[in-house]
Structure 1
Amino acid sequence: MRREAFTVGWICALQHELAASRAMLDEEFNTIENHSSLDDNVYTWGALGGHNVVMACLSAGKFGTESAATVAKDMLRSFPSIRFGLMVGIGGGVPSETDDIRLGDVVVSKPTDVHGGVIQYDFGKILPNGAFQRKGHMNKPPAILLNAMQKIQSTHEMHGSKLQTHLLRMRERFPAMRDYYESPGSDNDHLFSSDYGPMTSSDHESKKPTEIRRLPRSTTEPCIHYGLIASGSKVMASAEDRDRLRKENRILCFEMEAAGLMDSFPCLAIRGISDYADVYKQDKWQKFAAATAAAYARELLGTIPTWQVETTAKAEDQYFPYQPQSRAVPANPTRDPSVSFVDNHLPLDRNRHHDLEQKDCRFSYGSSSLRSC
């Protein structure tokens, strides 16, 4: 099969995210023609819902926005017919009184009036008074994905989701995954209050924070939440910082890769919740959360007709329609030294508004977060 036949790019950061994603394919191809010699990615190729999908994972031990951007750049070089991408993996949930997010749930990036669905919370500059001013506005996912999102939300309201069906199919097809990609159960889902202040992993026993008691759900089906995802170059492991940023922007999830993609790779971020972005991070939920995110991605792609993908503009042309496919980037572009940039090797979208101030982003959300259980 030729490289030009692949229209959907799928990126993961961890090996168990890739395993869960591969398990969602209808068929996995053994080999295709060679890709670019400048591309270090190792790919998985397959079919899902009639679409030819190419998957790649960040290198072992590599994390963050820069690594994700490199994978996407090489993927687009080797597979020039890709129309859009999916960033599929785990993230830290941000539960609140209005957003009942639990471990194993899925958060999908959805634009608001101000943001494109993903914000880079550590991108900005230090003001003279010491305050941090966040800057920048990232692109929305392409219309084809936003329209598919609307359709799948309406379908879930009418009939419920098929996540459990996809998870059962995965475990039946791959018996080795049964013991490791099952839900650990609600008895292993603990949310602690953030009112204990700054805390490190060594403080667990001495400070003993209060566990927040939540009513049990009427179903074991993971819920799907739609709203803002916060992306940064470091792991969010502070309940205090988590809640502060949530109050400013009604963030639903923290992760580390999507900000490296949104302005140069038209895509949607899909995150299974494996922890609560606090010091109590555990690996126990990671594989199940990776599986729920991959199951949602499978269901989403199944709602999009093949012909519609084929008639969508190529990813390379959506954000840079007036530039040649091979772009030279200045070695040392002029930049404001007070601004912290993570993405140093991909050109920025000409429509990105770098002077959007944090104060403009705080009061624009209302009930922008939606949920489907």
Structure 2
Amino acid sequence: MLTHDDYLLGWVCALPLEMAAAQAMLDEKHPELPSPSTDDNAYMLGAIAGHNVVIAGLPSGSYGTNSATRVLSQMRSTFPRLEVGLMVGIRGGVPSDSNDIRLGDVVVSKPTGSCGGVVRYDSGKALQGGRFEHTGSLNQPPQLLLTHLSLLQAEMMGRTEEADGLIWSGVQKVLGQNPHLQRKFGCPGPDQDTLFSAKYPHSAEGGLKVSCARCDRHQTVSRTLRSSMEPHVHYGIIVSGDQVMKDSEARDRLDQELGILCFEMEAAGLMNQLPSLVVRGICDYFDSHKNKEWQGYAALTAAVYSKLFLSRLKPRTLKQWNKPRSLSLFAIG
């Protein structure tokens, strides 16, 4: 019978939608284990690619760095042998001339130069002339995660998207085995992916606050149709913080300053105490326009990528890891 000590990997989600995608990744489900009275988390237990995994979600309606830190802190206390964690979810992408990010794509944090892969965008100091200097540093993931990340990256680069895209085929397998998920987690289609000019805000004319039906289609950015349904995976800097970003012009200013790929709201509270690899499924462009129909599919592409990563990180390798005791967080979205 499995005990708390048999679980070496934690998977944390911010939204119920993300937990549903994570649950669909389980190769087998395990019975519940008792938790101490000091632990408010609710857990799903199971196995993914041979790893015993603990899945937990943030409290309903509670987001941000502090909430994620509390959930993971309690998870560590209840499951003391945890070595690696995953935080799987959805967030907004930062499209640019150099990064053709689209809805449903996956963004993975990767160290670049002096940056560990994640930057806190709402922490720093205002300077003369209206400039803002980002201060403080966040840890990068341990070598164990980065070497296996490189392994998966190389494998995906060597495959033809049209014939056997790993993420797209993984998504289709999940939906084929769980037809009831199709409506919520299926791909809306490339024709539903609209990128508006950064200078054009969402139109709420006629009270249509949750639809872009009356937004001016002449203000869209022209992009070449992709030859494959396979989501692209982008590696680089992710910015994180508690402040919600829905300003496309501010988004692009940060991109010019830091060269970023994605905004999210949890990882900054975890990186220094828990070395983290952040992975996010892209469900919008962090502007004022509405793309909620992509949330389920983006959650699923991130979860499928996570399972692909775990299938390269062998359970025996994780058990024999002789690094100093610490929990590494793999955050996905």
CA distance in structure 1 between the aligned counterparts of 2:325 and 2:70, rounded to whole angstroms: 15
Q: Which residue of 2 aligns with 1:183?
A: 187
Q: What TM-score do you get using the length of structure 2 for normalisation?
A: 0.90
Q: What is residue 258 of structure 2 aligned with on the other side? A: 249
Question: Residue 195 of structure 1: CA displacement?
Answer: 2.9
2: distance between equivalents of 1:206 and 1:43?
A: 42
Letter in 2 for 1:18: M
1:166 Cα shift?
A: 1.8
* Per-residue Cα deviation, 1:252-271 (whole angstroms, up to 9, x for no partner): 01111111111112331110
Question: Any idea what the Cα deviations from partners look like across 1:171-200, whole Å, max 9, x if unmatched?
Answer: 12322101211110011000011134xx46
In the TM superposition, residue 315 of structure 1 has moved relative to its aligned partner by 7.9
1:171 aligns with 2:175: yes
1:180 aligned counterpart, secondary structure: helix
- The one of 269, 282, 287 equivalent to 2:296 is 287
CA drift at 1:207? 7.5
CA distance in 2 between partners of 1:123 and 1:77 (Å): 29
Contact preservation (8 Å) 1:95, 1:101? yes
SS in structure 1 of the partner of residue 198 of structure 2 = coil
> Unaligned stretches of 5+ in structure 2?
206-211, 329-333
Report the Cα offset of residue 206 of structure 1: 8.1
Once the two structures are superposed, the pairs formed by residues 1-373 of structure 1 within 5 Å of their partners are 1-32=2-33, 34-127=34-127, 130-160=130-160, 161-196=165-200, 199=201, 202=204, 210-313=219-322, 316-317=325-326
Q: Secondary structure at the match of 1:254?
A: strand
State how far apart, in whole Å, the 2-side matches of 1:171 and 1:206 are. Answer: 32
CA contact (8 A) 2:247 2:288 kept: yes
Output the aligned Cα RMSD: 1.9
CA distance in 2, matches of 1:95, 1:251: 9
Q: Is the 8 A contact 1:266 1:315 kept in 2?
A: no
Distance in 1, matches of 2:157 and 2:68, equals 33
Amino acid of the structure 1 residue aligned with 2:108? V
SS of 2:67 mapped into structure 1: helix
Write the letter of the residue equivalent to 1:274. Answer: C
Residue 208 of structure 1, CA deviation: 7.1
Give percent identity, aligned residues only: 43
Q: Distance in 1 between matches of 2:140 and 2:289?
A: 32
Q: Deviations over 1:58-90 (max 9, x none)?
A: 000001111111111111111111111111110
**Partner Cα distance (1:66, 1:200) in 2:** 30
Q: Residues 315, 183 of structure 1: CA spacing in aligned structure 2 closer, same or farther, 3 A cutoff?
A: farther
Residue 312 of structure 1, CA deviation:
2.1
**3-state secondary structure, aligned to 1:76:** helix
Distance 1:318 1:271 in 2: 20
Equivalent position SS for 1:92: strand
How many Å separate the matches in 2 of 1:266 and 1:312?
15
Structure 1 unaligned residues grouped into runs of 5+: 320-373
1:5, distance to aligned residue in structure 2 (A) = 0.4
Looking at structure 2, the residues matched to 318 and 215 of structure 1 have their Cα atoms a distance apart, in angstroms, of 42
Which whole-Å deviations, capped at 9, do the CAs of 1:295-353 have from their partners, x for residues lacking one? 0000000001111101225785369xxxxxxxxxxxxxxxxxxxxxxxxxxxxxxxxxx
